[in-house]
Amino acid sequence: MTKVLNSRATIIVAADRLNDCKDYLETDFHQLIDHALSVGWSIDEVVVALSGLAEEEISVPERAVTFH
């Protein structure tokens, strides 16, 4: 099964690879959040900022479409 992300450009990601990638990134992701919280950012600020950064990364034309 595939997931479609981003309404402007279709990004196709194989579900098994997505789950493996999430597992791979999870520890570092939580450490990044914990670090931001430890220096005074609120959880709301952190998740909105991370979401915005992810959205910016997806919007880069050279990365707009990937096929697996």
d(CA 53, CA 14): 22
At 59 the pLDDT is 80
Return the DSSP state at 59. T
Show Cβ contacts of residue 36 under 8 Å, excluding neighbours closer than 6 positions: 45, 46, 49
Please, what is the average pLDDT of the chain?
A: 82
**Phi (first) and psi of residue 5, to 5 degrees:** -120, 150
Q: Which residues of the chain have pLDDT under 50?
A: 2, 6
Q: Where are the domains of the chain?
A: 2-63
Enclosing H/E stretch for 31: helix 15-38
Q: How much is the pTM?
A: 0.69
- Give the sign of the dihedral formed by CA 29, CA 40, CA 60, CA 5: positive
At 2 the pLDDT is 47
